[in-house]
Structure 1
């Protein structure tokens, strides 16, 4: 209405003495022009902006965002330069509609030049995940910024910057109990992993939570380039009877390994530092040695003392009433293995591997309970073997090289609380026993299943 009024008073009638003064008419016309410009700017501000290259001597170009695509941990912005000067783009900003800055991302290959009167594409890695909602995407160049409104209907996960490839890993909880800080075993083979795109020693492996950017602790137990490799990852939470998702990244030639078992397990020692000052012995000699090209702890029973109380016990403790102890062992003359459920020197459970038997032999109240339970099973001699013991308050399972050998329900007379360590035990006049590594992880039965998805790239 104001514009109409201004247009009317801006027309001066020579036959009327009550017309508007010519100067006033000009001022009103200027006002109309400014108002129209403001209306046009308000309509277009979300879609285009001026970018002036420095030192070009040119007037600058008008840049338009044509489309935005956010997926797979990346944002891709397609732009068009409408004017006759080239522009350079260096940043992509993602803001909430309230004006708060969510992400400031450096464009890949920045600055990216968009030629005059041409289309261009800029892209960046999402360093954080984006929740569903509305956002302003702003593209920054020289001296100006242009923005574009988008709405995400679902969450978009970020991407670990610097890595070329990733795979989603689906973990399915099977026990009906929510698992927290649980150690998940990942097995890589040529069927589910392209070794040729990773460093030859696996140093560029990284694992993140479902958001794609929060790093998770991991340990490479074994790495066989082009074959079968085993990695353990500590996952924050796996809800009961549900699925959890993590990402495995690879394809970065400049990084070093972050494998760290001490961050993954309840307890871990591999004796690689040659320091066993944090271990103690009972009626035994313990030493850090190199045996069969492995750095180990060596346990030699003394000829004195009780028959089955020659121990190596760490000072470190852990808290778990159900757990799994795993070790890599070698016994010259076997009649021992792991000491589990250790509370003190008078109360612990020993697993005696002797004469093709697995024997449950506990100490209760300082008394050797002898062979409480026994099961026939192969006892490796003069060779390395992987030994696993599932320890529950009232039950024990044993495995050698992945095959279950024994399963015992423990009678109430041999149960007690307050246990917080694992160690090694050997029979008098047997051994010596060598341990390459020993670790303790959380227990779940059945254990979660793991599925490795297809390769994604950015």
Structure 2
């Protein structure tokens, strides 16, 4: 058959068109397959990243619990050894390596095997780059993730990711407090009054019969909580004083939130770790100064006369933890005193302060000649800078008479009568030049001695007062005398307080000392306490963020455990290393908040 040239050309064009169409369809098919593979790889890479993001917090929490269990096992297998990690660096290395191992073996290797079964190849690398904290319960976990996923069509997805996740601890075992156990006891506080007492200062006395000093030798681990688990502030006045018979005594003050009328109230005692004292009289009393703060002379008191300074304490209260310093005025002038910068709004209250007066050379009128001033008005006669204040004073021996000034810068006794007995006086400016110090009341049966520390106690009921004193030894042993002075209907100048001389410059080298000033609330009958012995808590505690009240996270114990953030306390990492303080720079401290 003969085909014309035009027909032949047409046939060739048709064949070429068919070939091009087939090749085009084949290319489109490959493109579609490649795009499908790329989409699949994108999904797989997203899944891979999501697996790391979602699993890392859980894995870290698991490894953290493994670390706690390792410490507990070390202790159970060898109670006399050191069960903790060698240091915080070792602890962090354990957590880092353990987390990496689980992420790789339990997650990335499984993902790699699954992807390989689907025809993909994957290379990867995972490493923890840093572990820090953002609060006491939450870790920040920095990590690097590299992966390369390749499909059959040659599509490659390769990423280097530097990111982080947060991990909040969820019921992590507390090995630290398992090895360094907590003891719990109860103080039964009885309020015999017909009225409820709020935020009331309660005196607690520990001795050999009601307190085990072998559990708490220094008192630094003590904490107190009410029946609702609320923290109760406390102050250690004296710790572990031993008398001549070696009987041991400690005196503490608690500020109990509520004491119902004619009711017994339970206060829980905890002896726990770390041993960091929280004794703080500023949180307990209405006004307070134990002179341990080197700025209190000028922040809590205005110095009106005399050179006041801090020195080391050497009386029986001396303690390197609770009572290192006292305040003194050496070579005290005629009138040396400090006036409180704050006043009290209470109409009924009790004031106590420790005091001593000392003479280098004795004369015929020995006595401390120190005073506790009250009902003070710092600006009674404001136009005089020499003695603008007026006040009443409880005197540990005193001088009565008149003082005057010629220059306005110094006061000199004009007339004076010595009184070696315990008494009550008032001191006030008459005019710019003259000041009177007059007798109000005297107890002729009690004459305090110089160079002896005493506790002065003043009770104020509106404008009626009672006062007494006793040695520190008698105070500690609860051997206080009856009230020595009682006066009614005193004229109040003001509501401030003073400390200083009741008659200075008797001779040269006259020194006065003060310590432990406090103002507390009054009750017609002081609450009493009954202390029950400490017992060791049983079981393993869980460290967990605060939960709804009533949720229990304690194994084998009747008490409900709480934790809270606290500066200077060990973080979770520090506790795994057995540290009793915060040494890891990125940590947030945790302390045992209480049992319920």
TM range (shorter): 0.5 to 0.7
Q: Residue 381 of structure 1 is aligned with which of 434, 445, 450? A: 450
Identify if the C-alpha distance between structure 1 residues 453 and 421 changes in structure 2 by more than 3 Å, giving closer, same or farther: same
Question: How big is the alpha-carbon RMSD for the aligned residues of Structure 1 and Structure 2?
Answer: 3.2
Deviation at 1:302, TM superposition (A): 6.2
Residues 1:396 and 2:472 aligned together? no
Distance 1:303 1:351 in 2: 19
Name stretches of at least 5 consecutive residues in structure 1 with no aligned partner. 1-53, 55-103, 110-123, 126-160
Residues 1:224 and 2:224 aligned together? no
Distance 1:368 1:241 in 2: 47
TM superposition score normalised by structure 2: 0.46
Deviation at 1:422, TM superposition (A): 4.3
Q: Residue 183 of structure 1 is aligned with which of 201, 208, 217? A: 201
Distance 1:291 1:222 in 2: 13
Identify if the C-alpha distance between structure 1 residues 450 and 282 changes in structure 2 by more than 3 Å, giving closer, same or farther: same
Distance 1:448 1:422 in 2: 28
Distance 1:302 1:331 in 2: 10
TM superposition score normalised by structure 1: 0.58
Name stretches of at least 5 consecutive residues in structure 2 with no aligned partner. 1-61, 63-169, 242-246, 316-323, 359-366, 379-387, 398-418, 538-596
Alignment-derived partner of residue 346 in structure 2: 320
Question: Would the aligned equivalents of 1:399 and 1:405 in 2 still touch at CA under 8 Å?
Answer: no
Identify if the C-alpha distance between structure 1 residues 232 and 339 changes in structure 2 by more than 3 Å, giving closer, same or farther: same
Structure 1 or 2: more helix by fraction: 2
Q: Residue 348 of structure 1 is aligned with which of 378, 381, 391? A: 391
Q: Residue 445 of structure 1 is aligned with which of 492, 508, 524? A: 524
Q: Residue 362 of structure 1 is aligned with which of 406, 426, 440? A: 426
Distance 1:351 1:248 in 2: 36
Distance 2:252 2:470 in 1: 19
Question: Would the aligned equivalents of 1:303 and 1:429 in 2 still touch at CA under 8 Å?
Answer: yes
Identify if the C-alpha distance between structure 1 residues 171 and 298 changes in structure 2 by more than 3 Å, giving closer, same or farther: same
Q: Give the total of aligned pairs.
A: 300
Structure 1 or 2: more strand by fraction: 1
Distance 1:419 1:410 in 2: 17
Distance 2:182 2:425 in 1: 53
Question: Would the aligned equivalents of 1:359 and 1:375 in 2 still touch at CA under 8 Å?
Answer: yes
Alignment-derived partner of residue 113 in structure 2: none
Distance 2:276 2:305 in 1: 43
Alignment-derived partner of residue 37 in structure 1: none
Question: Would the aligned equivalents of 2:328 and 2:514 in 1 still touch at CA under 8 Å?
Answer: yes
Distance 2:309 2:284 in 1: 26
Alignment-derived partner of residue 302 in structure 2: 280
Deviation at 1:419, TM superposition (A): 0.8
Identify if the C-alpha distance between structure 1 residues 282 and 455 changes in structure 2 by more than 3 Å, giving closer, same or farther: closer
Deviation at 1:452, TM superposition (A): 0.9
Question: Would the aligned equivalents of 2:193 and 2:261 in 1 still touch at CA under 8 Å?
Answer: yes
Over alpha carbons, which structure has the higher Rg? 2
Deviation at 1:318, TM superposition (A): 3.1
Identify if the C-alpha distance between structure 1 residues 419 and 443 changes in structure 2 by more than 3 Å, giving closer, same or farther: same
Deviation at 1:340, TM superposition (A): 1.9
Question: Would the aligned equivalents of 2:190 and 2:529 in 1 still touch at CA under 8 Å?
Answer: yes
Deviations 1:82-140 (A, max 9, x none): xxxxxxxxxxxxxxxxxxxxxx855677xxxxxxxxxxxxxx99xxxxxxxxxxxxxxx
SS at match of 1:256: coil
Identify if the C-alpha distance between structure 1 residues 300 and 388 changes in structure 2 by more than 3 Å, giving closer, same or farther: same
SS at match of 1:166: strand
